[in-house]
Amino acid sequence: MQGIIIKGIGGFYYVKSEDKIIECKARGKFRHNELSPMVGDEVEIKEKNGKGVIEDIYERKNMLIRPSVANVTQALVVFAIKNPDINEDLLNRFLMLCEFNKLDIIVCFNKTDLIDCIHENEVVNMIKSAGYKVMFLKAKEGEGIEELRDYLDGNVTVLCGPSGVGKSTIINTLAGKNLMETGNISEKLKRGKHTTRHSELLQIGKGFIVDTPGFSSLDTSFIDKEDVQDCFPEFHDYLGECKFNSCLHYKEPSCAIKKEVENGNINSKRYDFYVKIIEEVSQKKSYKGGDGR
């Protein structure tokens, strides 16, 4: 019988198969292979008297480290249009890490009830110009949530974004119950929100959401400088048109990417961010700022 691990606690794995959840142990062979089952794994199980054993783990499509979840297909990168103000650098870093992990990306701008007009927003336009799918939400009022629901079907979705932007509110509204604590950061800290805990998959419709917000570390220094360009979808059409095959679109002459920045086809702020990352990874300098809870 096939299923997906939605939770792991103290050596037990909870596998959702068809319409039930079966408590399973892993076979000893996984320990010998140094492969341990993780949340998100698609597994083959054998069930007997209501208890299960994980016999096999299907090949993982990918594996996030923090949160530790396999087979994530999609990221909702959530920022508030205001309260807190958008940190552009952080937004670009989230996008980059999602690209690096080959996730489909939807950028959600929440709290749009706090402003009059969204269309003149520079950050929104920058994100759109990079080709990203953008959604506007008023999570507290439930606006945009139904449209979001459609994108969840068939996916394992992780929510990424800084504290206070409305990720918990989005999850609660989608789930139709209060699974996550909401509120301002100091209130959450007081309630011990930030104690270490394991990720769990929450079923929403025909998909799953990871209940811990994505990427607790926004370190990008592990990325090779040659791979950074692949994390910028708006570069894609022009790669290979530079004079040098090994062009990093930095200080090289006759660079197609730089030409498109000058032409206005690539957003110059996104290009500046690209250069910043190239300089960072060249020095293997790690990123310490920000809060990517």
* 261 counts as binding Zn ion under rule CB under 5 A: no
> Judged by CB, which is closer to ligand GDP: 195, or 283?
195
Which of Zn ion, ligand GDP, none does residue 163 bind (CB under 5 to 8 Å by kind)? ligand GDP
The Cα-based distances of 204 to 71, 143, 174, 257 in angstroms read 16, 17, 7, 41
Which residues make up the interface to ligand GDP (CB under 6 A)?
Answer: 110-111, 113-114, 138-140, 163-169, 182-184
The amino acid present at 255, given as its one-letter code, is C
What is the β-pairing status of strands 2-9 and 156-160? Answer: unpaired
**Choice from 75, 170, 174, 247 touching Zn ion (CB under 5 A):** 247
Helices (H), ranges, the chain: 29-32, 88-100, 122-129, 145-152, 167-175, 185-190, 225-228, 256-263, 268-282
* 277 counts as binding Zn ion under rule CB under 5 A: no
Q: Give every CB contact of residue 102 below 8 A, 6+ residues apart in sequence.
A: 62
Cα–Cα dist 168/175, whole Å = 10
Cα–Cα dist 218/285, whole Å = 12
* 266 counts as binding Zn ion under rule CB under 5 A: no
> Judged by CB, which is closer to Zn ion: 137, or 257?
257
Which of Zn ion, ligand GDP, none does residue 257 bind (CB under 5 to 8 Å by kind)? Zn ion
> Judged by CB, which is closer to ligand GDP: 80, or 255?
80
Binding part of the chain for Zn ion, among 161-169, 197-205, 221-229, 251-259 by CB under 5 A, reads 251-259
Binding site for Zn ion (CB under 5 A): 242, 247, 249, 255, 257
